[in-house]
Chains A and B, each alone.
Chain A
Amino acid sequence: MTTRRVQPLSLAVTAVMSAIVFVLTRMVQVPTPARGYIHLGDAGVFFSAFAFGPWIGGLAGGLGTGLADVTSGFAQWAPFSFLIHGLQGWVVGWTSQRWTGIRGLLLSTVLGGVIVVAGYLFAGMILSGIGAALGELPMNIIQVSAGALVGVPLFAAVRQAYPPIVHLGRQRR
């Protein structure tokens, strides 16, 4: 088997960002005032997509959340999470590269949120039935909103505190 040209740095950034998304999904549980928990996996997906564009954002989002599903015992959700968060990362990365500034940031965040909420509604209808999927809808909206609330300032703060991020994982388009 022969390999096409691969950029080692892009590959390394994708792997490590997948691990970050996994940790934010599986390990970081923010206690809610209603004594529940939400995770911050979406913040990792938004950050990866803003910082590194559609391909790394999509792969890190899909892989990180898919691995989190597998290790937490919900492996049946892993293919759906891979596709939904992969698409979320890709669309957010593509939109934020095409439209820069606040407008692009807002548009990509909203699109990413809609993809996640609609995607899990559809996946829930297949796996758990329409009733349970509708019941999960409010929690999914809160989850993705919290992700955006952290992901956008996280990107701004990291870009300011760590300027080499601009050169990291720069990919061919």
Chain B
Amino acid sequence: MSSRFDFFLARDSWLHRLDPRVKLWLVGLAGLTGLIYKQIAVLAALLVLAHLLLLSAQVPVARMRWLWVRLGPLLGMILVLQPLFAPGPGPALIRLGFLRLTVSGLLDGVSFALRAAALAFVAAILFLTTDPVRLVQGLVRLGLPYPWGLTVGLAIRYLPTTYGLFVTISEAQQARGWIVDQGGLGRRVRAYLPILVATVIAALRLSNNLGLALAARGLGYPARRTALHDIRFTASDWLVTALVGLLFGAAVAVRYGLGFGARPW
């Protein structure tokens, strides 16, 4: 599958071999840690840890650079807008009309930018190292109803097919003189209608055939379901689960027991 539709990188690392449920646990608790702390040092440490984990999973530096490039505009916007619109207490360094720039506002901006970057890289640990099929299997084993899991799996499978439909129809319309980048925004947006109508109808025909195929395979009949490649917890899965739980417990105790990490600095 093209990387435009799939974030997963197939490698043979310890993170790739971990059960998807453990990675959900790891990413969930690391994400929560990023949300309960505002301390710049803690968020920076979380960001560095996420990079180290990705490196240990043989994720190429180029892929991490790609993620930084994607995050760049968002981080820039946070660094500029957060201090301007939410300056916080303290004397103004610069005053521009009703806008004030303060040290606490700037630190808040850095803290939120670090949080955004840390959460993006923490989430990348799950999606870069987990095959979508195994991830769906993990979710089903955690209690997601099987039809929902199958829907997610089918949706992922049909991303390139649906995009292919859209591209074919767009190219056919372009050959007939379809132009999108002229006029105001409303006109440009409405220019997509003929393409979208044809794409949606083609996709609906596809879903009709897919529904028939699923029915022919017996979907909907009550039966004990088996899996060709099942997932199982190993000793290392239990070990990582316990370690992550302990670390998160310590992070919560330090944050709420000692009151550390509520401020950016």
Binding site for B on A (CB under 8 A): 1-20, 22-24, 26-28, 30-33, 38, 40, 43, 47, 59, 63-64, 67, 70-76, 78, 126-132, 134-136, 142, 146, 149-150, 153-154, 157-158, 161-162, 164-165, 168-169
Q: Check A30–B192 contact: CB distance below 8 A.
A: yes
A contacts with B: majority SS: helix
Q: Check B166–A3 contact: CB distance below 8 A.
A: no
Q: Check A22–B127 contact: CB distance below 8 A.
A: no
Q: Which residues of B contact A6 (CB under 8 A)?
A: 147, 219-220
State the Cβ distance, B179 to closest chain A Cβ, in Å: 11
Q: Check B156–A67 contact: CB distance below 8 A.
A: yes
B82 is contacted by which of A20, A72, A75, A132 (Cβ under 8 Å)?
A132
Q: How distant is the Cα of A49 from the Cα of B7 in the complex, in angstroms?
A: 28
Give the B interface residue count (CB, 8 A).
81
Q: Check B123–A12 contact: CB distance below 8 A.
A: no
Closest to B227 in A: A1
Q: How distant is the Cα of A169 from the Cα of B123 in the complex, in angstroms?
A: 33
State the Cβ distance, A37 to closest chain B Cβ, in Å: 11
Of the 9-residue stretches B63-71, B90-98, B232-240, which lies at the interface with chain A?
B63-71
Q: How distant is the Cα of A121 from the Cα of B112 in the complex, in angstroms?
A: 15
Binding site for A on B (CB under 8 A): 4-7, 31, 35, 66-67, 70-71, 74, 77-78, 81-86, 105, 108-109, 112, 115-116, 119-120, 122-124, 126-127, 145-148, 150-152, 154-159, 161-163, 166, 180-181, 184-186, 188-190, 192-193, 196-197, 199-201, 203-204, 206-208, 210-212, 214-215, 219-225
State the Cβ distance, A141 to closest chain B Cβ, in Å: 12
Q: Check B189–A150 contact: CB distance below 8 A.
A: yes
3 cross-chain pairs, A with B, having the tightest CB-CB distances, nearest first: A75-B123, A131-B85, A9-B211
Among A47, A74, A165, A169: residue with most chain B CB under 10 A:
A74
Known: A3-B223, A30-B180, A157-B193. A70 touches B159 (CB 8 A): no
